[in-house]
Structures are given as structure tokens and as C-alpha cells.
Chains A and B, each alone.
Chain A
């Protein structure tokens, strides 16, 4: 056994999953015979859990609207951008407090990998995800599905216009993993995944008023109503040119 008397630093790293496999296994073995070590590990595990639990309500609180406005105005540097001329206001659409329920919400290509890390197989990376979704996003109509990779299915939901450009929502299902809701936007001539978040499961408790991350993004981006099928069809035929 490599580690008979692990330090506190090593025990904390063990709890946090930061040790290599060999060292972690040696500590696992040592725990069985050493109540003191086991107590230390329990202490480090408990403190992490208590911290995480104590702060989790913050993620479910509405963000002060003034803060959201401040960011959207560029931090006071310039006026908030107006909705593009082609954007369609959504009559009667509720105003969703910026929000909430963003635990697990990850943005951007590099962070998408983090969100998807628990998914396997296949194991998505930003590059493989972007490559797998490129064709479905470019060619599928809303309401239809495709297979971006073996053992994976993507179902296109809606296409909308937003401040960020044309965006398409989808659900990605990978065999053996829970589905993920996602949103990709057409930026600089390419589809870029903006949001990936685990889709609520049937037995998942969802607090009343909780906002799904994709919806939160769409609200912040002042998305239009879903585009009609014939408009989406034209966009697909034009290969999203002029978007």
C-alpha cells in the first residue's frame, strides 16, 4: 500500500475525487482498518455537503432585475440593445424572473463539456458535440429527430429569433444517460451551443416557479415566438444564409 498514513491534504483530495486511482484505492483500503482515518474522511465529506446544501437555495432565488438590466446594458457602457427588427414580440408571454434553477446550467463550448461529463456513452466533448449537432441543427425541421451519433438522439424543438441571432432548442438523449435540454444559436455563420442542462425527469422535484435554463436564456435574449414551420423550412433550404 502506497499510503499508510495519508495526510489531511490527501484525505481531502480523496473526498473530492482529486487523487489518482492508485492512491485513492490505497486510502480506501486503509479506511477499513483505521477508525481515525474514517472519521477524518467523514468530517471532510460532511463539511463539503453542508456547504453545498446551505448555499443551494441561492440558486433558486430570482436575480434582482436591476442586476440583469445592468449586465444587458453593457455595465452602463452603452444602452441595452433593442430587439432586432425581425424579432417578433411575444404577446402575453409572461415575464420570467431571471433566474433561478440554473444549477447545473453551463454555457459555452468549454463549459458544455463539464455539463456533459456525467453522460456516457458516448462521452461528449465540446468538439464532438458541436460536430454531432451541426447537421441536425442545419437540416432538421422542428418536431423531428435525428441520430447525431451512435446511441444518441436529438429532437429539435423550436426555432426562434433572439438578440443573439437565430436559436434552436433541442433535447439530446444519449443511451444510458438522462436527457439534456439544449439551445444552440447561429452566431458568425456557425451553430454554437449556448445552454446544456439536464432535463427534468419524471420523479425529479421541480419547485413551483422554477425556470428551466433554456427558457431563462430565451427570456434574457428576448426570444420571439417559435417561427412557423414554413419559415424554418425556408431557412433550412437557404442553409441559414442571411440569418
Chain B
């Protein structure tokens, strides 16, 4: 096996963990998903064409594994979404607390979205992928990317507004 691809996957791990957390809403499940993604990627390393985007390929694998898991098991709900956001060195307690609060709110809001909207909004807004890249990763038309994205962000806007404005229940999409 090419050592080089392992090194590249290693340096992708922070981004894979971030995407996995946005999908699963749980750190433990996120790291399980990352490991499963890496295992699948390394087993099929020959399918990755050097010169093409490794990150897109890994995101696609992760997304497919996550969809498989959703289909296999009834969603378990959030398992203590994020009980801990590691403090960044140099931050004071107040800032860390705000970061923790923000992460919990966002994860709760993301969990309210249909999984297909969550993937799109995460890839675009958190992973900074272009619409074309997202369409390729998810194997959906550009128009679908745009419609899911606008519905997801409209829903998130309602869910994240100050107390009293949050919507309950699953959002259509």
C-alpha cells in the first residue's frame, strides 16, 4: 500500500472528524464513522485516482457509510450531543463556555434537519465545498443542492433564533 496515501489521509483526519460530527451529532459516533471511512478508503485505495480530490473522495465514502447506517438502524437520536468541546489553549473560561453552547445549539439544530439537507449544508457551510463539488460527492443535480441548501438554511435560521422562536419537530425537506 502506498504510504503516501496514508499520510494524506492522516492529515485529512481533522476535517473528516468535523464532517462526521456534523453528520452524527456525537463525538463517539463521529470517530467511529471516521475510522470506518478510513478503513473503507484504504481498502479501496486503488480506486482513488491520484490528481483528483482526495477530500471529495473521502467525504463521499463517509456520506455513503452514514446513509447505510441510517438505513440499517432507526436513528438513535442525539447521544449527549457534545458534552465537551476541548478548550483551545489560551482561551478563557467564558469563551470556551460560549463555544460549547454554540456547538450544542448547532448540533441540536442540525439534527432537526433531514439527513440529506444536513449533508449538503455541512459540506457547503462547514467544509467550504463548492456546489459542483457537493453535487459530485452526493451524486445529485446542482439544482437539488441549491434547493436543499436554501431549505436547510431557512430552517436553521428559525431554529437558531433567540429563545421563543425555535421550531419543534422534524422539518420537511
Contact surface of A with B, Cβ cutoff 8 Å: 7-9, 11-13, 16, 18, 43-44, 46-48, 50-55, 57-64, 67-68, 70-72, 74-78, 81, 98-100, 102-103, 105, 107-111, 163-164, 185, 187, 194-195, 205, 207-210, 213, 216-217, 220-221
Contact = CB atoms under 8 A, between A and B. Distances in A.
Interface string B90-101: 110000000100
Contact of A55 (B35, B126, B149): B126
Nearest to A48: B125
Given A57-B86, A63-B13, A102-B14, 5 more contacts: A47-B157, A54-B102, A105-B11, A107-B11, A194-B4
A47 B34 contact: no
Interface of B: 1, 3-4, 6-15, 17-18, 21-22, 31, 34-35, 38-39, 41-43, 50-55, 85-86, 88-91, 99, 102-103, 105-106, 121-122, 124-126, 128, 130-131, 143, 146-147, 149-151, 153-154, 156-157, 160
B102 A71 contact: no
A41 B89 CA distance: 35
A207 B51 CA distance: 33
Contacts, number: 170
A111 B55 contact: yes
A132 B53 CA distance: 22
A108 B157 contact: no
Contacts of B105: 54
A16 B85 contact: no
A210 B148 CA distance: 36
A58 B17 contact: yes
A13 B131 contact: yes
Nearest to A103: B14
A151 B34 CA distance: 41
Contacts of A207: 88-91
Nearest to A208: B89
A71 B13 contact: yes
A72 B10 contact: yes
Contacts of B34: 67
B102 A67 contact: no
B153 A71 contact: no
A144 B151 CA distance: 54
B147 A9 contact: yes
Contact of B8 (A62, A78, A100, A107): A107
A221 B6 CA distance: 9
A94 B16 CA distance: 25
A52 B131 contact: no
B88 to A, nearest CB: 5
Interface centre among A50, A207, A209 (most CB of B within 10 A): A50
A102 to B, nearest CB: 5
Contact of B106 (A50, A72, A220): A50
B121 A51 contact: yes
Contacts of B51: 108-110
Contacts of B156: 47, 50-51
